[in-house]
Amino acid sequence: MDLFYREYGNGTPVIMIHGLLGMSDNFIPLAKKLAEQYKVILPDLRNHGNSPHSEEFDLSVLTGDIIELYHKLNLNSAVIIGHSLGGRVAIYAALKNPDLFSRLVVEDMAPRKYSGNKSINNLLQVMSRLDLKSMRSINEIDESLKQNIPDARNRQLVLKNISRISEGVYEWKLNLEVITRKVESLMVPVFEEVAFTKPTLFIKGGRSNLIRPEDYKIIYKFFPAAEIDIIPNAGHWVHADEPQLFLEKVLTFLVA
């Protein structure tokens, strides 16, 4: 899969992977700061953003795409960072290919199985019911979403996935049908029999419950060098809620 990607800066490569329904530009402000010291690579996962669409869509395939991009860019070693679904891909990539990555950063995600994610499933169902053909402006689309998606950040996540083809004509950027049908395949456990023993940082949003105290045992089992850092005032989107603190945590970890 020939993924779309953005690239900033020079130095040690850092691959940053966005979450479900996200895209590479979610990380641009952070990437530009990191690019003062590192070479930062921001891919769009398949079926997201500007990357190609495909019927094949699970953690193994997504991880394979990242490894393919790694080799395409002739990298010898890289730091890998992932948020949410991107964190699961980063975990899987590090466990399956430990020789390729020097460090791992996981933002608000654990290696365990996730099930019954009502928030994501609700979002996907609302998006699937949205009749873009009848909409004539982004404002109209936003207004139509408010009843079912009252949270402005979640609506913005949806709106960023809509492309304007021409005046009053819109379509989805992402492969909504495949993502909706196969979302549960992304929630399986991602740990392996072999541990990733290199430096690892799990960053948890203090207002998020996606990393729980009972997850710590499995994190330390498969990532024995892991640190778990909690940013109290952040939700699931830690890098957006507390961008400066998130950046400081990552930079401190990278030079430790």
Tell me the pLDDT tens digit for each residue of 130-156.
999 899 899 999 999 998 999 898 999
Of 178, 184, 142, 181, which is closest to residue 160 (Cα–Cα)? Answer: 142
Q: In this structure, what token pair is assigned to residue 133? A: 């053909």
Known catalytic membership, residue 36? no
Confidence check: pLDDT of 176 > 70: yes
pLDDT at position 35 is: 98
CA distance 222 to 2: 30
Known catalytic membership, residue 68? no
Confidence check: pLDDT of 192 > 90: no
Q: Which residue has the tokens 């070693």?
A: 77
- Percent helix, strand and coil across the chain, each rounded to 5? 45, 20, 40
> Using an 8 Å Cβ cutoff, are 219 and 226 in contact?
yes
pLDDT at position 191 is: 83
CA distance 130 to 105: 35
- Kindly list the distances between the CA atom of residue 124 and the CA atoms of 113, 165, 178, in Å, as whole numbers in the listed order: 20, 22, 11
CA distance 174 to 176: 6
Q: Which residue has the tokens 């779309």?
A: 4
User: Which residue is catalytic, options 18, 83, 236, 239?
Assistant: 236
User: Which residue is catalytic, options 84, 102, 107, 239?
Assistant: 84
Known catalytic membership, residue 84? yes
User: Which residue is catalytic, options 68, 177, 184, 248?
Assistant: 177
pLDDT at position 256 is: 80
Q: Kindly report the backbone phi and psi dihedral angles of residue 104, in degrees, each rounded to the nearest multiple of 5, phi listed first.
A: -135, 130
**Confidence tier at 230 by pLDDT (50, 70, 90):** very high
pLDDT at position 116 is: 66
Tell me the pLDDT tens digit for each residue of 88-124.
999 999 999 999 999 999 999 999 999 867 788 889 9
CA distance 27 to 165: 25
Of 112, 103, 80, which is closest to residue 226 (Cα–Cα)? Answer: 103
